[in-house]
Structure 1
Amino acid sequence: MKDGSAFLNDNAQRIVDGMIGDAERLRVAVSRGPLGECLIDAGANAVGGVEAGLRMAEAAMGGLGGVSAFMDRGSEKWPFTIEVRSSQPVLACLASQYAGWNLSGQDYFAMGSGPARALARVEPLFEALSYRDTASSAVLILETAQPPPRAIVEKVGKATGLAPEKLTFLYAPTQSLAGGVQIVSRSLEVALHKTNDLKFPLENIVDGVGVAPIPAPHPDFLTAMGRTNDAIIYGGSVQLFVKGSAKAARKLAEQLPSRASRDYGQPFAEIFKRFKGDFYAIDPLLFSPAEVIVTAIETGDTFRAGGRDLKMLERSLG
């Protein structure tokens, strides 16, 4: 994680340029906002689709992750699966993909993810990350049905130090195919974020891969949000390759699965209702994959914990 690098936003910009060139094939709508910002609708008024969601996920990871969809016939009723992998998972997932930038304002609510976060560095998480981006353009992903209003574009421009015409906002609601795909593409990211919460040294994380089923979209926001979360919490599997002792790797494997959380055991939509819609009242340790494999590459030991919960997937995904 070298200071002065600029590749997260540069990589994402290349992905965005490719989406613009393939807009008709991807069924996304490209436009310019009132301040000159580039807007890519991947599932709000545009049809979008799975391929658009895959491109969104790759842009969200700053081009440092491979994201693909495949049919896993061994996955019971949910064979359509997303695989995410990265050989620079800390940068791809924490410095870029994590949806940690609160961009709410008046009647607008959205959490920002993507490499623009690494330019703004307004989140406490960046205190643990030495990476600094110096790119001349920035990309931000929003889980919303509406493009960002003028005030939000100005806020992002001020935080990143860029003119609005140098900003690209990719957006799609959770209820859309593209939105659901890019959210479920966060199985590795949630594992990395919880790993950081558990105080495991980020510099010891070498590589990682994660999979999770793609749930059917639903027109109701709460149901759609519940399904995308449950796909990872009860159906996600992640393998991490780490440096350090076998003891540390075993401890991480034991603590990392979602079932270690006090709130494990109900569909996410029901948990959300129980806490009266207060997202931050939910145990943050719930947001992790169901199954975890941790390999200590310096000793050759591998540790496994957790497991996919088919009964919970049945309740949530149907």
Structure 2
Amino acid sequence: MCERNINSTSSMLRMVNMKTSINETAAKIVKEIMDSPDRLDCTVQKINGATVIDAGVNVRGSEKLGQMVAEIAMGGLGVVRCSEALFGELILPIAIVATDRAKQAIMCSQFGGWRIEVGNFMAIAAGPATSLAQKGELRLEMNCEDISTLGVILLEGRQIPTPEVVEYLAEGCGITTSDLFCIVTPPASRVGSVLIASRIIQSGVFKLHKLGFHPDKVRSAYGVAPIAPVANNDEQAIGVSNACIMHGGRVFLYVRPGENDDLYHITNEIPYSFEHHKAQTDELGTQFGISHQYLDSHWFGPSEAILTDIETHESYSSGSVNSAALKEVLSSY
């Protein structure tokens, strides 16, 4: 299990200067990993000048490493802790996530979308360095530009980058290879399970964005989601981890809405919708074979969402944890 000491939500959040680079903030956590590879069960090597950390390809990894990698994915602007919770008859490990910089941590850093294909190498890139590369319409829309001479990138896949891949990444980020830090983790790994569960806030904030509610209006965010067991392959890992979010994930968003924002309606649209999902899939079990690019953002979401207006202090909630569906998914896995 990850570190179980859960402090108050206010003390969980890192105090970060508004002008701090998300790459430089994340790099501080990277250096902590580099100082303790044996304890965290990872390896550190140099490839074409870049620092490459294997967090699950040729090593087992650890939940503590997963916690740190999940915080790196959020640009060092969020806190991730692990504990346990009861879901019906099941006691499951959970990821507890908090940030008071939702747009920067989630949309500008944690959100993936940069597909890396160099020769036979393939991975999905996420993390703060993607804001240096400015890949994808979302980062341009969110004004995610980061100014830094170093870059920290997560590569979700099963291949260690070659010198050519390192060169491609550094060039895309506008930095030298010696200033590039890569963390490689497959979805079907101990680190991968924690990393996907830590996207619980993303499931709510991204849904808000799709509904026309700008992430800048989210002043603080908290989330809790079950951590899936390590799957047999990466496709299955993504499927079962997303199912844990859809059936057992909860998000708490503290927002400052605009005059025309209907929080009641918006809240009702955030949770996972089985009806919309069923319209696109023949049966619940087919979710095990879908990956990120096939997830329909109109139905994917947390099981429960609670939005609070920080001006009026009114709260709105929708959805609920579905322990029976969660048990069915995990027992079928």
Give the TM-score taking structure 1 as reference length.
0.91
Q: Which moved more, 1:199-208 or 1:124-133?
A: 124-133
Partner of 2:272: 258
Partner of 2:180: 167
Q: CA deviation at 1:47?
A: 1.9
Aligned-partner Cα distance in 2 for 1:236–1:199: 22
Partner of 1:302: 315
Q: Partner amino acid for 1:31?
A: Q
Computed over aligned residues only, the root mean square deviation of the Cα atoms, in angstroms, reads 2.2
Partner of 1:271: 287
* 2:150 counterpart of 1:134: no
Partner of 2:70: 57
Off by >3 Å, runs of 4+ in structure 1: 73-76, 264-269, 277-282
Q: Note closer, same or farther for the CA distance 1:82–1:165 as it changes in structure 2 (3 Å cut).
A: same
Q: Partner amino acid for 2:163?
A: R
Q: Note closer, same or farther for the CA distance 1:261–1:28 as it changes in structure 2 (3 Å cut).
A: farther
Q: 2:45 aligns with which of 13, 31, 35?
A: 31
Partner of 2:32: 18
Partner of 2:303: 290
Aligned-partner Cα distance in 2 for 1:201–1:279: 22
Q: Partner amino acid for 1:249?
A: L
Q: CA deviation at 1:174?
A: 1.3
Q: Which moved more, 1:95-104 or 1:9-18?
A: 95-104
Asked if 2 retains the 8 angstrom alpha-carbon contact of 1:5 and 1:134, the reply is no
Asked if 1 retains the 8 angstrom alpha-carbon contact of 2:236 and 2:288, the reply is no
Unpaired stretches in structure 2, ≥5 consecutive residues: 1-17
Partner of 1:313: 326
Give the TM-score taking structure 2 as reference length.
0.87
Q: Note closer, same or farther for the CA distance 1:278–1:213 as it changes in structure 2 (3 Å cut).
A: closer
Alignment identity in percent?
28
Q: Partner amino acid for 2:118?
A: G
Aligned-partner Cα distance in 2 for 1:269–1:52: 30
Secondary structure at the aligned position of 1:308 is classed as coil
Q: Note closer, same or farther for the CA distance 1:177–1:278 as it changes in structure 2 (3 Å cut).
A: closer
Asked if 1 retains the 8 angstrom alpha-carbon contact of 2:40 and 2:61, the reply is yes
* 2:124 counterpart of 1:121: no
The Cα offsets for residues 196-253 of structure 1, whole Å up to 9 and x where unpaired, read as 1111022211110011011111223332221111111111100101112596221221
Partner of 2:263: 249
Q: 1:233 aligns with which of 246, 250, 273?
A: 246
Q: How many residues align?
A: 311
Partner of 1:208: 221
Q: Which moved more, 1:241-250 or 1:210-219?
A: 241-250
Q: Partner amino acid for 2:247?
A: Y
Aligned-partner Cα distance in 2 for 1:278–1:53: 20
Aligned-partner Cα distance in 2 for 1:268–1:166: 45
Aligned-partner Cα distance in 2 for 1:144–1:78: 29
Partner of 2:58: 45
Residue pairs, 1:182-197, within 5 angstroms:
182-197=195-210
Unpaired stretches in structure 1, ≥5 consecutive residues: none
Asked if 1 retains the 8 angstrom alpha-carbon contact of 2:88 and 2:324, the reply is no
Secondary structure at the aligned position of 1:284 is classed as coil
